[in-house]
Structure 1
């Protein structure tokens, strides 16, 4: 071992918190979402924005069009995922970014960057699938990170409300925090906080199609993507549990 010592740390620096409390991968995704929206609004003209939507938004009608011309269906290879990187406006982006930061952070810290991104994009695709099932002939298209964010929310529901597990170190006797266990589906339902959150989430999103009947206004909310992504996240998070630290 080298005998060269280090200068003692400044006492004021020892208790200093990091500037960015988000994991690096979460910050990177947020930066990417902002960069894409900046480029689409400040660099592209109206024709360029239309091309961006045409090639990267998810359009269920391509499924039907592809039956006559297979080339029209080719973007369906990537648009179930790429639509999650586009947003209709700054308000749309900021809401999704805030929700992403809240729920991607615990998932990333528990499983790492790869599983967090997998849950995000697979949930976005699941949300796109449910969106397609309900809007196939409408000509509607889907953009926004909300399906993927909903998946991260569902994944987090499996552990954020669970009690912290504390063990005793076999040699030192110290109490060691092991983290929170992943709840089974039965435990998830029996947990009042988790079940209430899930119930409210499902009811609010399922009620979106009824709002025009009550308010007379179309909310333009892709409730299908929210529900599809949410349940995809709940289901698939267990695949990564063996890697939890």
Structure 2
């Protein structure tokens, strides 16, 4: 059987330097110019919002950079297996008009050519053209097809799509709604003077303020900080709660994982800064614990993702890059405002390691997973 163990080589379709400019189609150019005009108007009209606007521009650029057109060379046999998987999982549909694969149920993306999956024949195989982030997923699919076969991989991808779909029962969003409401309420109450008193640090513990070990998870330094964490919470929270069993056990497991991850994030931060005076605030450490467990979640009935698998190694590298970007983002946002802010990467790492290594113990037992759901 033909293997896919060769190094992952995903290359740019338009050139590495061109990729830095998110202009991949006429439609996107018009969209970006309109957004830029709106931001420039807000910049001149509302000076207080400038750090937020800078953050929004950087986040939009990163999202579009992830979607940049890219190419991946594979064999004809691999292309046939990949096409069969795309057909079987139903997330993409092949057009009879031009042969391209398009995401089903997203007709709004039709005019954006760089959002399509296209199989381009070449003398010694096939070149797959698609957005960069989708090509990484397709590469994973090729490896899984070799290991498990078409039926198993199609079922796994369908299970993942069902979990990510918006038709999750409303009950799975209870814990995230509770945490989000507490964070927003705390920020609004402390809006005039800020929330540094809730921050955890060596100095705070030396002063006997041990409550900051828990309070720091619900404190945020500004609207952008709060918004980013709440977006992460909404992205991963419901998906994880749905895998933690029945209500109310799933709620309790999620809340326990969130709090324990936040405490472990604070512990690593304090270990790195035992005599520090700078308070650390934010739910990021706890959220990284949630992410640490989510990335190890298997498809129903499968084993946990191995810690040293190729997929996990890619996730580790992606998290490193994300944290480096956050450092740049925070620096740009607050450079002109004179504020001093840093990224507590130690808390991110501590929470993530807890979710990665200890998080699986929060999953329900096999008997509970098999119990009928109401």
Q: TM-score, normalised by structure 1?
A: 0.66
Does residue 227 in structure 1 map to residue 349 in structure 2?
yes
Distance 1:19 1:242 in 2: 18
Does residue 33 in structure 1 map to residue 151 in structure 2?
no
Distance 1:183 1:18 in 2: 22
Aligned partner of 1:11 in structure 2 is none
Note the C-alpha offset of 1:22: 5.8
Aligned partner of 2:46 in structure 1 is none
- The answer as to whether partners of 1:124 and 1:225 remain within 8 angstroms in 2 is yes
- The answer as to whether partners of 1:206 and 1:223 remain within 8 angstroms in 2 is no
Aligned partner of 1:87 in structure 2 is 220
User: Quick one: structure 1 residues 132 and 207, their matched pair in 2 at CA, closer, same or farther if it must change by over 3 Å?
Assistant: farther
Does residue 157 in structure 1 map to residue 295 in structure 2?
yes
Question: Number of residues paired by the alignment?
Answer: 189
Residue aligned with 1:61, SS: helix
* Root-mean-square deviation over aligned CA pairs: 3.0
Aligned partner of 1:10 in structure 2 is none
- The answer as to whether partners of 1:58 and 1:80 remain within 8 angstroms in 2 is yes
Note the C-alpha offset of 1:203: 5.2
The C-alpha deviation readout for 1:65-93, integer Å capped at 9, x for no partner, is x3xxxxx22x22x2222100010111000
Aligned partner of 1:126 in structure 2 is 264
Note the C-alpha offset of 1:206: 7.2
Distance 1:110 1:200 in 2: 24
Note the C-alpha offset of 1:137: 2.7
User: Quick one: structure 1 residues 109 and 211, their matched pair in 2 at CA, closer, same or farther if it must change by over 3 Å?
Assistant: closer
Note the C-alpha offset of 1:191: 4.3
The equivalent position to 1:199 in structure 2, one of 317, 338, 354, is: 317
Residue aligned with 1:110, SS: coil
Distance 1:232 1:114 in 2: 17
Does residue 117 in structure 1 map to residue 236 in structure 2?
no
Distance 1:206 1:227 in 2: 13
User: Quick one: structure 1 residues 62 and 228, their matched pair in 2 at CA, closer, same or farther if it must change by over 3 Å?
Assistant: same
Q: TM-score, normalised by structure 2?
A: 0.45
Distance 1:118 1:101 in 2: 17
User: Quick one: structure 1 residues 180 and 205, their matched pair in 2 at CA, closer, same or farther if it must change by over 3 Å?
Assistant: farther
User: Quick one: structure 1 residues 209 and 183, their matched pair in 2 at CA, closer, same or farther if it must change by over 3 Å?
Assistant: same
Note the C-alpha offset of 1:127: 0.8
Distance 2:352 2:302 in 1: 20
- The answer as to whether partners of 2:265 and 2:350 remain within 8 angstroms in 1 is yes
Distance 1:100 1:197 in 2: 18
For 1:174-185, list aligned pairs within 5 A.
179=300, 181-183=302-304
Does residue 99 in structure 1 map to residue 242 in structure 2?
no
Note the C-alpha offset of 1:135: 2.1
Higher deviation after alignment, 109-118 or 232-241? 232-241
- The answer as to whether partners of 1:85 and 1:145 remain within 8 angstroms in 2 is yes
User: Quick one: structure 1 residues 240 and 81, their matched pair in 2 at CA, closer, same or farther if it must change by over 3 Å?
Assistant: same
The C-alpha deviation readout for 1:133-153, integer Å capped at 9, x for no partner, is 222233111110000000000
The C-alpha deviation readout for 1:107-127, integer Å capped at 9, x for no partner, is 211111111111111111111
Aligned partner of 1:69 in structure 2 is none
Distance 1:211 1:189 in 2: 30
Note the C-alpha offset of 1:211: 10
Distance 2:295 2:255 in 1: 17
